[in-house]
Chains A and B, each alone.
Chain A
Amino acid sequence: MTQAELRLCSLLLQEHFGEIVEKVGNSLLRTGPRPLRLLVGDTGLLPDQVKKALCVLIQHNLVRYEVQPRGSVEYVARSERILRILRYPRYIYTAKTLYGDPGELLVEELLLHGHLSMSCAVARVADRLTETMEDGKTMDYSEVSSTFVRLADTHFIQRCPMVPESSRSANASPPPAPALAIAEKDMYIVPRLSLVGKGKRRHSCDEEEEAEHKAKRQKQEGGTSETPPDDGIYWQVNLERFHQHFRDQALVSAVASRMDQTSSEVVRTMLRMSEVTTASGASHTQPLSSNEIFRSLPAGYNIGKQVLDQYLALLADDPLEFVGKSGDSGGGTYTVKVTWGPGASRAPPSPFQHPSLIPLLPHRFGSRCARIFRLLLRKKHLEQKQVEDFAMIPAKEAKDMLYRMLSENLVSLQEIPKTPDHAPSRTFYLYTVNVMAAARMLLHRCYKSVANLMERRQHEMRENKRLLEKSQRVEAILASMQATGAEAAQLHEVEEMITGPERQQLETLKRNVNKIDASENQVDETIFVLESFIESTMKRP
């Protein structure tokens, strides 16, 4: 883990879970897996605090535990999962676009709580939706349930590994920690529940809610408590599936920008058909025959079969190899290549052609640098002289730009000796782009940027803390006064408590914080592209 990643993880934990959890997480990230007592010693916190923190981290899948052979339990932090906290808004927004408000709230609740049982999640979401509806209307559980089932069917949520069913006899001592496991095929099976009910508003009959809560909790005394029918079955968000979706979106938009709308629709249809059949690490989708594709095209698109075939042929012939032809049965079978990174032949689609990365270089180094960079990407190895010629840039400038990029490690020098003694005067020096190294370097920079942005945002909030508190107090007073029906003059008086310049300061603060937050979201998009590129390139044999 690089320093930048560590720092970012720290900040994320601190912002969302507090200082105690941050300290524990930090210790695990920096020093590696350790058992409980070492953690307590390291962090200097109270044992109970450390236990609480670990419970929180395990609940949210940020830390996992392993039972060591000698019986102690070690805790391991999952750094890449911690970094995903940055992407939560994107997951929630995607769920909203795909499944509407119930979907959005379901994913949000699952992310906020780490994992939940289906009955619990559905109840919570129904309550929240009811709050937003007009008076007298409530949200029925069945609608939320059906959205839940759809999310599970398309693999956006999955079951958590379960506690083993082993019956423990009285003599056998239970293991220090349960070994949770789940089979791949069980991961998306929704338990048969008949969840009947409607959402409740907060101030309506609480006695019912009380009884419900009692039923849900496990009582030690046993007896009259009922455990919910899906006890022990917890659900979590399947982040990999969301990533697959983002990647598909990027592919479709790349096709659209390179060709036209219709071809992007074709690719989108192909991807949709193979959503759940594509394994998460696969490089190609399953082959789809053109007949199938024709049948699955969205209703609005009435293009003829021949036209579709022509489009498919065009896509397959494109040097960027979005679509490959894999056979001739059923009118020709086609697959979509779903990894970033070089294909089998000439021109590799590298991440640098992704729309979010293309502006990176010109804005940092100038458009001419970007020209040289793209040239090197395409031609692989070029001598100094050749760079000047191809890029049509005067020698002096070209030299300067090349050295700058060299010092930033975006390009590197490759030596090709002419003689076995590697004499410098008889060696070729070629400039080249090492895509993996450049991608890694940029990713590191991205982590650093987000960490910087977060620190700056926190700094801004700290600086204006007094003013923020004051404005919150004033708002609270206003709200309570409005509730008790005060007159306009009194309200005005209270509003005047915040002076003009203070109001402006608050405005500026709000604008800055919004800008910083939006930037963080933006950088996270770039992080996603770079990370998935690096991951898929490393996976290839």
Chain B
Amino acid sequence: GRGRGRGRGQMTFNVEAVGIGKGDALPPPTLQPSPLFPALERRAAPLPGGEEGEYMLALKQELRRAMRGLPYFVKPGAPRRDIERYSDKYQLSSPVDSAIDWNPDWRRLPRELKIRVRRLRKGKTAPLVPKQHVALDKEETIKKLESLEKKEEEVTSEEEEEKEEEEEGKEEEEEEYDEEEHEEETDYILSYFDNGESFGPDSDDNGDEAVY
């Protein structure tokens, strides 16, 4: 029967078949979603230790740390500060949105993804400026001069990866010119300059021998 009010919760089927005998107390109805942190009835088994486990643990943490340092870890470009400061010119540059820090094989990627490759101090790559075309011979001469210069200075400051601070929209020639200016103009040894902001692990690179 419908059993409204008469008898407790009558079902359409014979509940004895499922095992609920007469007079058994059914669990109370659930009126709210299950708790976010249900009580633990029994503790979990201990983790298997051993050499394999330890090694894989170390590998995992090492991998995580390494990947943060690779250029594949894309960081947003530094926001423009309101006033241009003099120290900006000499700082180890922060990430830039409009450039990619590694050199993918562009032949394997769709054309629309091409973006300027940022030159690093070591191993210069030809930056790909999609829109602006600079006269080839001028670029070559500048490149030759730079590579000669670099060979001189490479030995002295290898451990520093000195990237220039690039502002958006600068043309290629201007950047190259800037870099030359950098290297000729300063009497100050750049490794000595420390405005105190990068007091963390970054400063490890600056700890090498004095440079003359």
| Residues of chain A whose beta carbon lies under 8 Å from any beta carbon of chain B | 15-21, 36, 46, 48-49, 51-56, 58-60, 65, 67, 73, 88-90, 92-93, 96, 108, 111-114, 163, 174, 176-178, 180, 202-203, 206-207, 209-210, 213-214, 217-221, 232, 234, 359, 363-364, 366, 384, 395, 399, 402, 413, 423-425, 427-429, 469, 472-473, 476, 479-480, 483, 514-515, 517-522
A residues less than 8 Å from B56 (CB atoms): 89-90, 93, 521
CB atoms of A517 and B57 under 8 A apart: yes
Select from chain A the residue with minimum beta-carbon distance to B157: A206
Which residues 111-137 of B have a CB within 8 angstroms of A? Answer: 111-115, 122-126, 128, 136
Question: Could you pull out 16 A-B pairs where Cβ atoms are within 8 angstroms?
Answer: A16-B64, A49-B77, A51-B114, A52-B97, A65-B110, A112-B66, A178-B109, A209-B123, A232-B107, A363-B44, A402-B19, A413-B18, A423-B13, A424-B17, A476-B204, A521-B56
Q: Does B29 contact A (CB under 8 A)?
A: no
Which of B18, B105, B112 meets A429, CB within 8 Å? B18
CB atoms of B107 and A49 under 8 A apart: no
CB atoms of B60 and A517 under 8 A apart: yes
Select from chain A the residue with minimum beta-carbon distance to B208: A203
Which of B13, B20, B44, B59 meets A93, CB within 8 Å? B59
Q: Give the complex CA separation of A514 and B60 in angstroms.
A: 10
Comparing B1-9, B67-75, B83-91, B183-191, the segment that makes contact with chain A is: B67-75
Select from chain A the residue with minimum beta-carbon distance to B112: A36
User: Min CB distance, A17 to chain B, in Å?
Assistant: 6
B residues less than 8 Å from A402 (CB atoms): 19
A16-B67, A49-B77, A65-B110 given. 19 additional CB < 8 A pairs? A19-B76, A20-B75, A48-B99, A49-B76, A51-B114, A51-B115, A52-B74, A55-B115, A56-B74, A65-B109, A108-B63, A202-B159, A207-B155, A366-B42, A425-B14, A472-B200, A472-B201, A473-B200, A518-B47
CB atoms of B203 and A476 under 8 A apart: yes
A residues less than 8 Å from B74 (CB atoms): 17-18, 20-21, 49, 52-53, 56
Q: Give the complex CA separation of A96 and B58 in angstroms.
A: 14
Which residues 14-67 of B have a CB within 8 angstroms of A? Answer: 14, 17-20, 42, 44-45, 47-48, 52-53, 55-57, 59-61, 63-64, 66-67
Question: Which 7 A-B residue pairs are closest in the complex by CB-CB distance?
Answer: A424-B13, A213-B123, A177-B110, A425-B14, A89-B59, A384-B19, A89-B60
CB atoms of A163 and B107 under 8 A apart: yes
| Residues of chain B whose beta carbon lies under 8 Å from any beta carbon of chain A | 11-14, 17-20, 42, 44-45, 47-48, 52-53, 55-57, 59-61, 63-64, 66-67, 70, 72-77, 97-100, 103-105, 107-115, 122-126, 128, 136, 139-140, 150-151, 154-155, 158-159, 199-201, 203-204, 207
CB atoms of A93 and B55 under 8 A apart: yes
CB atoms of A17 and B154 under 8 A apart: no
A residues less than 8 Å from B126 (CB atoms): 217-221
CB atoms of A88 and B63 under 8 A apart: yes
Which of A17, A234, A522 meets B67, CB within 8 Å? A17
- Beyond A52-B74, A363-B44, A472-B200, is A517–B154 a contact (Cβ under 8 Å)? no
Q: Give the complex CA separation of A202 and B204 in angstroms.
A: 15
Select from chain A the residue with minimum beta-carbon distance to B139: A221
Select from chain B the residue with minimum beta-carbon distance to A217: B125
User: Min CB distance, A432 to chain B, in Å?
Assistant: 14
CB atoms of B63 and A469 under 8 A apart: no
A residues less than 8 Å from B55 (CB atoms): 93, 96
- Beyond A112-B67, A399-B19, A473-B199, is A207–B115 a contact (Cβ under 8 Å)? no
Q: Give the complex CA separation of A221 and B61 in angstroms.
A: 42
CB atoms of B108 and A180 under 8 A apart: yes
- Beyond A177-B111, A213-B123, is A518–B57 a contact (Cβ under 8 Å)? yes
Q: Give the complex CA separation of A483 and B105 in angstroms.
A: 41
A residues less than 8 Å from B53 (CB atoms): 518, 521
- Beyond A18-B75, A90-B56, is A206–B107 a contact (Cβ under 8 Å)? no
Q: Give the complex CA separation of A429 and B105 in angstroms.
A: 63
Q: Give the complex CA separation of A202 and B158 in angstroms.
A: 9
